[in-house]
Chains A and B, each alone.
Chain A
Amino acid sequence: MSSLDVAFATVTFKRKIAYKTTWIFSVLFGGWSLLAGLAVWSHIIGDGEIGGYDWPAMRAYLIIGFLTATLAWSGSDWEMANRILDGHVAIDLTKPVDFQRARAAEYIGGMTASVPAAVLGTAAACLIFRPAPPASVLAAALTIVSVLFIFPLAFGISYLATLTCFVTQRFLGIQWAKDSLVAFFSGMMVPLALMPVWLQGISWALPFVHFTTTPASIYLGRVDTAGALGLLAAQAAWSVGLWYMGRLIWGRLVKKVTIHGG
């Protein structure tokens, strides 16, 4: 990471925290979603278990979901999309920087601004709702690594989604589709273990699963150490794969860039 990457990330971090009210609302909304999830799943599970989750494990799952969702939804998808939609990309192309790398630094800088809210919210939820503890110290450490992979994964998916604006000239529908895919296939809405086997197979073949199911599975010991390392390798592979997919698509699209007007 160069000093320029840090400079880009810092600028977005500053911009994010400049809008204090938006920041507070995002935390409140995340907290509300967690409370709603806890209420629903408490009613469904009761004293039993479902899909291998008893109530303490489900509390842990939902709190990990809160943490990962707070991070994953905090990127600046619309800012990236608007650069393309309003032609600001013309300015970007006159700067001596790699477009994708600059956007990655900005995006991750924006995500970093949500870290205090995610950490404080998670800590508060742990204190209040007493989730199941991690399967082991190693599992806890690997969960942290897994959560860190959400940064490049979230950027990779959002970047590919925003590049479609070159073709669609609109982003709203793409954004909705992307958010739905992430929420559904990551297990943020419903744990994968409760889905039909064939749908679980599809989910594990997609990158979205690594937003919530992977860190939760590692934390709760639903996979052994080798399995956890395999999941981390899959997260790394998706991060690299999405990065190069972005490069490939950008390389093609930049030749067809059309910016009308002055």
Chain B
Amino acid sequence: MPILEARSLSKTFRRPDKASGFKGAVKHLAQRKYKNYTAVDGIDLSIEAGESVAYVGPNGAGKSTTVKLLTGILKPSEGTVRVMGRDPHVERIANAHDIGVLFGQRTQLWWDLPVEESLKLLKHMYGVSDADYKRRLAMFDDLLDLGEFMPALARTLSLGQRMRADLACALIHDPKMVYLDEPTIGLDISVKDRLRAFLRELVDNGTTLLLTSHDLADIEEVCERIVVIDKGTIAYDGPITQLKAHYITTKAVNLYLEGPADVPALAEKFPDYAWAAGEAPSEVTVTYETSRFSTAGVLGSLTAQLAPRDLSLSEPSIEDVIRRLYAGELTK
């Protein structure tokens, strides 16, 4: 039985329909008009216990709204959600005991109190025993270096420290299901790396994770499955490896020749490959289909016949694939 199941999940908001400018403001005051806006449109999502799922999409695609529906913050306009068999909106308090939530853009720390005071209050809220509290704090300290800023007021923390403290707040009660909405937003590379390693460990220990992020490195390093949402509907749902295998069908070789590259002549000489000029006159990019040609074969023939000064191999990243999914160039 899935730990989370959403069926035909939809959320429609009512937004003011107001013309711009002074006239529009006055007109709206006299005669209010509203438009319905569907943020999430009939989503089906099923997550098994222990899965790590990336939930990605462009800005305004409906990611955060979905997370709010799944966590019980918002009531669906249509459809159903069950998390561990419960309706998270109707049985909000019972559901909240079993989930951990982090919104990267909102802190759950009490702003003018030391971090440890926030964690102690959360310990009370979740009824965490003293022994478990100490054990988990020791783990967070080990993995997130929490100890160094535990006595600091939340408002004095750097963004990276604040995010690490918020992560500890979200996980202090050892939740079965964790939702992380943009957990690495605004962080520097070293803090991101540390957080990703922590999340990977969390997943390896059996926690179910739903992660939304614009940083695709978060996704590749932490998650096995990816759900791509666009305009409120799911554009792709499957393993990340399958997404790559299915959509990454070409590779490219960048060649740095001794002299200027004559692209039309090269295209005529090697018609099976796609040729494009590089940034420098002597640079040229050769793209080939992996189903037809082996990398070794392509490299062998190019080096033998063109004797390049240098070369490098590249393949489209998951970022490219997702960008093309957003743009509607690829289909499910």
Contacts and interface: CB of A to CB of B under 8 A. Distances in A.
Interface of A: 3-4, 7-8, 11, 14-15, 18-19, 87-88, 90-91, 93-98, 254-262
Given A3-B124, A15-B112, A262-B103, A94 B73 contact: yes
Contact of A4 (B92, B101, B125): B125
Main secondary structure of the interface of B (DSSP, over half): mixed
Contacts of A95: 96, 122, 125
A97 B93 contact: yes
Nearest to B75: A255
A75 to B, nearest CB: 17
A15 B112 CA distance: 6
B113 A91 contact: no
Which of A19, A90, A262 lies at the interface centre, i.e. has the most chain B CB atoms within 10 A of its CB? A262
A211 to B, nearest CB: 28
B158 interface: no
A261 B124 CA distance: 29
A91 B112 contact: no
A205 to B, nearest CB: 33
Interface in B112-166: 112-113, 117, 120-122, 124-126
How many residues of B sit at the interface, in one of the four size bands? 20 to 34
Given A15-B113, A256-B75, 18 more contacts: A4-B125, A7-B120, A7-B121, A8-B121, A14-B113, A90-B73, A90-B103, A90-B106, A93-B92, A94-B73, A94-B96, A96-B125, A97-B125, A257-B73, A258-B13, A258-B74, A262-B103, A262-B181
A96 B96 contact: yes
A97 B96 CA distance: 8
Contacts of A14: 113, 117
A15 B118 CA distance: 12
A256 B92 CA distance: 15
Contacts of B40: none
B105 A261 contact: yes
A15 B96 contact: no
B124 A91 contact: no
Contacts of B72: 93-94
23 contacts: A4-B124, A7-B124, A8-B121, A14-B117, A15-B110, A15-B112, A90-B103, A91-B103, A93-B71, A94-B71, A94-B72, A94-B99, A94-B101, A96-B93, A96-B97, A96-B125, A97-B125, A254-B75, A255-B75, A257-B74, A260-B13, A261-B105, A262-B185
B44 interface: no
Interface of B: 13, 64, 68, 71-75, 92-94, 96-97, 99, 101, 103-106, 108, 110, 112-113, 117, 120-122, 124-126, 181-182, 185
A11 B103 contact: no
Nearest to B95: A96
A4 B128 CA distance: 12
Given A91-B103, A93-B72, A96-B126, A262 B113 contact: no
A90 to B, nearest CB: 5
A11 B117 contact: yes
A86 to B, nearest CB: 8
A70 B121 CA distance: 28
A91 B102 CA distance: 8
Contacts of A259: 68, 73-74
A94 to B, nearest CB: 4
Contacts of A19: 112
Contact of A98 (B93, B103, B108): B93
A8 B123 CA distance: 12
Contacts of B113: 11, 14-15, 18
A97 B95 CA distance: 11
Contacts of A261: 64, 105
Nearest to A14: B113
Contacts of A96: 93-94, 96-97, 125-126
Which of A3, A94, A97, A254 lies at the interface centre, i.e. has the most chain B CB atoms within 10 A of its CB? A94
Contact of A262 (B74, B94, B124, B182): B182
Closest 4 CB pairs of A and B: A96-B96, A94-B101, A7-B124, A262-B105
Which of A8, A11, A96, A256 lies at the interface centre, i.e. has the most chain B CB atoms within 10 A of its CB? A96
Contacts of A254: 75
A261 B106 CA distance: 10
Contacts of B125: 4, 7, 95-97
